[in-house]
Amino acid sequence: MESQIQMISDQIRNEDDFLVVSHYNPDGDAIGSTCAMGHILQYLGKKFTLYNISGVPHRYDFVGKPAPITSTLPATLPKWTIVLDCGALDRIGEDLLARLDETTIIDIDHHLGNGDYGRFNWVDVRQPAVGSMMAVLATHLGVPIIDGLAECIYLAIATDTGFFTYGSTTPESLELAAQMLRHGLDMPRMNKMITKQWTEARMRLWTEVMASVELYADKQIAIGVITQEMFERTGTTSEDTESIINFISRLKTVRVSVILREEAHESYKFSLRSYGNDNVQQMAVRFGGGGHKNASGGTLEASLKNAIEMLVDVISGSLDRP
Ligand code: 5GP
Ligand code: MN
């Protein structure tokens, strides 16, 4: 691990222009680590372009960005592209995927089964977020973790750990949070900005999704459904669905919770969450998806009825142990 960090640090020191990218439909870790990488490069006096094929969800507008995140690739790509928080390379989006012969990848990630798709790969599945890896990198490169950089790192870790509540939370991430707090990070403001983002439309959508939840396998599996029709009627988008699944997971009897989100006719994005030893990454892989042990996802091309049947079958088959 040390040697990977060393090689990537050397590469960053020696080169002077970078594209920084994370996955489409970015979450807090994707946006936070992209901006954190930008802050590090800015401090080091490097040129850089921050890019995300989906742009930045409005709810993350508040975080201190070193430069805007563009959703359009530059005409000429930098020699080096730093890919963050992408468990599979196709998550960078089709635009950049089509131009990989123009650039060389540095892969920094914390997903199981990453596959080391870069020229340099630093993949650490024990890290709670790529944001915490940005803190390790900053320390290596002598960049102080304060101000905008601390905000971005905090956004990344707080969202990927559910505010330091998930099993992925590490002593190091708590120590890092303490260090950032000591150095002036306004944590209450950050927590408010991250959570106090609801519109009335979102609340209406959430009540409908909660009402859609059905329980399977002795109430050990909960499945909620979001259709395009619900989005249209409530005036919401997929941005409004992040973390609904965590509330469904709170059902006492439930070991695996599922959200199925209709993306197109007979095409559903699925999200899975679990606790402890129930490994939803292995379940997602069965459907060509991936992620982490307790949080994973993928896409199912099937009717809603078939999608639910297939998921219940695979999940209940993996839950035979108490
Ligand atoms: P979410 O349910 O929040 O969309 O995703 C949970 C986790 O599963 C994330 O860490 C994400 O990287 C991973 N994940 C979600 N969808 C896919 C997918 O289609 N393919 C892969 N490989 N991972 C996914
Ligand atoms: Mn992440």
Q: Are residues 82 and 24 in the same domain?
A: yes
Cβ 295 under 6 angstroms from ligand 1: yes
Q: State residue 135's pLDDT score.
A: 98
- Listed in sequence order, the DSSP H helices in the chain are 2-14, 28-43, 94-97, 130-140, 147-160, 171-182, 187-195, 200-212, 228-234, 244-248, 280-285, 304-318
Q: State residue 229's pLDDT score.
A: 97
**DSSP summary character for residue 89:** G
Among candidate residues 100, 133, 131, 134, the one with its CA nearest the CA of residue 118: 100
Q: Are residues 144 and 60 in the same domain?
A: yes
CA angle 318, 276, 180 (to 5 degrees): 145
Q: State residue 109's pLDDT score.
A: 98
Q: Are residues 157 and 210 in the same domain?
A: no
Using 50, 70 and 90 to split pLDDT, how confident is the model at 321?
low
Q: State residue 164's pLDDT score.
A: 98
**pLDDT surpasses 70 at 178:** yes
What is the domain count for the chain? 2
**Which residue out of 296, 299, 311 has the highest number of ligand 1 atoms within 8 Å of its CB and is therefore the one to mutate?**
296
Average pLDDT on 238-246 reads 92
- Listed in sequence order, the DSSP H helices in 48-115 are 94-97
User: Do β-strands 256-264 and 267-274 pair in parallel, antiparallel, or remain unpaired?
Assistant: antiparallel
Using 50, 70 and 90 to split pLDDT, how confident is the model at 284?
very high
Q: State residue 226's pLDDT score.
A: 98
First to last CA, the chain: 35
Cβ 114 under 6 angstroms from ligand 1: no
Which atom of ligand 1 is least distant from the CA of 271? Answer: 2
Q: State residue 2's pLDDT score.
A: 85
**pLDDT surpasses 90 at 322:** no
Which atom of ligand 1 is least distant from the CA of 281? Answer: 8
Q: At what angle do helices 130-140 and 147-160 cross, to 10 degrees?
A: 150
Cβ 271 under 6 angstroms from ligand 1: yes
235: domain CATH number is 3.10.310.30
Average pLDDT on 137-142 reads 98
Using 50, 70 and 90 to split pLDDT, how confident is the model at 320?
low
Report residue 119 as tokens: 């020229």
- Alpha-carbon distance of 29 to 12, in angstroms, equals 21
CB 37 within 8 A of CB 168: no
Say which residue the tokens 């050990």 belong to. Answer: 220
Q: Are residues 29 and 98 in the same domain?
A: yes
Report residue 204 as tokens: 């209406």
Q: Are residues 27 and 157 in the same domain?
A: yes
pLDDT in tens, 260-273: 999 999 999 999 99
Q: Are residues 58 and 136 in the same domain?
A: yes
Among 167, 195, 223, the domain boundary falls at: 195
* Cα distances (Å, whole numbers) of residue 2 to 37, 41, 105, 113: 19, 20, 19, 20
Q: Which helix (H) or strand (E) holds 121?
A: strand 120-123
**pLDDT surpasses 90 at 277:** yes
**pLDDT surpasses 70 at 15:** yes
- Alpha-carbon distance of 103 to 112, in angstroms, equals 25
150: domain CATH number is 3.90.1640.10
**pLDDT surpasses 80 at 3:** yes
Using 50, 70 and 90 to split pLDDT, how confident is the model at 242?
confident
The torsion defined by the Cα of 88, 26, 17 and 76, in degrees rounded to 10, comes to: 80
- Alpha-carbon distance of 153 to 63, in angstroms, equals 10
Q: Are residues 185 and 57 in the same domain?
A: yes
* Residue span of the structural domain in which 159 resides: 2-195
Ligand whose nearest atom lies closest to the CA of 109:
2
Q: To the nearest whole percent, how much of the chain has pLDDT over 90?
A: 96
Which residue lies with its CA nearest to atom 2 of ligand 1? Answer: 271
- Per the prediction, the chain carries an average pLDDT of 96
**Ligand 2 mean position to 251 CA, how many Å?**
25
* Cα distances (Å, whole numbers) of residue 57 to 48, 129, 183, 201: 21, 19, 28, 16
Which atom of ligand 1 is least distant from the CA of 289? Answer: 20
Q: Are residues 29 and 156 in the same domain?
A: yes
pLDDT in tens, 25-69: 999 999 999 999 999 999 999 999 999 999 999 899 999 999 999
Among 163, 195, 227, the domain boundary falls at: 195
